[in-house]
Structure 1
């Protein structure tokens, strides 16, 4: 009585599976956006043809060494290309179905396959699934860790930039200074406010001197940021003293109709420090 061996099945698939592979590629192309965008229809066909030939070689030779190494790499490649697990599982399922379909067709010609060989075939297909998924999951986890590490590094860099870009200087117990340099936009203004409020609480500051000597342009937007900062500082018990307003900036603020009456304003940092110490009951005198 004729029967189908594993080697017979491997040779049969090599010779008769091309049209089935084309249908598989069409289905994956239609159902998987990741395969469609990364490989295209012909690329999908070639990818699964390679996998199928590895299965055939394993069936013919009885060795799984090549299939394990190659399919593990294939799983890793899918993870690096950004495939979802659903995409990988779709490909595995359709490839397994193709092999079982080819077995049914082969047995029509060659006769039935022994139960022992059917179990070997199932173990081989299970190995295919496990190897692909293991390669995918390991690389996926490595990618997640790399992204998390990169995110932590970016956050650390942001913190460093924030510290450098918003230096808070303790001048005297209860008095801190914030020298601002460069343009101020909404993002930086938010950072300045957050950091300043943190330092007011941490250092229990009563007076905050904000020096805008190094700010090139003070318009209504910047003035509003300063007023918001002053109001927020007052809510936690600190007074804001604004220094560094030159003649040109003062003229601009007047023309814009900006009202800084809520702030104590002094021309220079020295004047601001003198005022702050005076508020605390101290006085600067020449020796």
Structure 2
């Protein structure tokens, strides 16, 4: 089974190299992933943090410090140089396999995916490390109508993204919001918008149409306000604008649409 993975290539073929942790009398075990970005000579590392079920008790403390030692050496030597040194100095206990060709588009996500595939699958911690995936229609039902719905699956999010129960992931189809939102990308959204929606990228439900692709769309939201005789303001007109100028925006009257959620970021 693979232990250490070395990959090269961004949006192009790259090399994946696997390794194994070998201990006499013990089964082969996976211990981590090293992912090399050759263009910038940056090495991404993820090593398992618990070793009790992998090695002898006397070696646990030493192997637990492995990730920290690797990071220190990378800072000192640079990612590519450290990798070459590692390839030349590995012991019989820690070995590397032959290289295989892979595709890499996002280095951080590729590191996590390789770790899940080759080392150990990450525990799904709902709204802590993972978000639910919904269709746009299902998301509108959950947030707009406050009804319980079933998610398609759960997906891991970047560690720096702070999650909350009103967030979800949905796939966006169409080119009108390119280049910010590529056609077919998975995107993170946040419901229960607070404050002004002006100029935000929003998931909007348009009433009066049964066509799903026309009913739910992601657009830049702007609105014009008027004031009632009582001095209260209300939306007189809502305009939904694409980012790609090849597409045209359109205007809706108050009550012809509702904002379901705010766009947060592209996930993949």
* TM-score normalised by L of structure 2: 0.24
**Higher strand fraction (1 or 2):** 2
Structure of higher CA gyration radius: 1
Question: Higher helix proportion, which one?
Answer: 1
> What is the TM-score normalised by the length of structure 1?
0.23
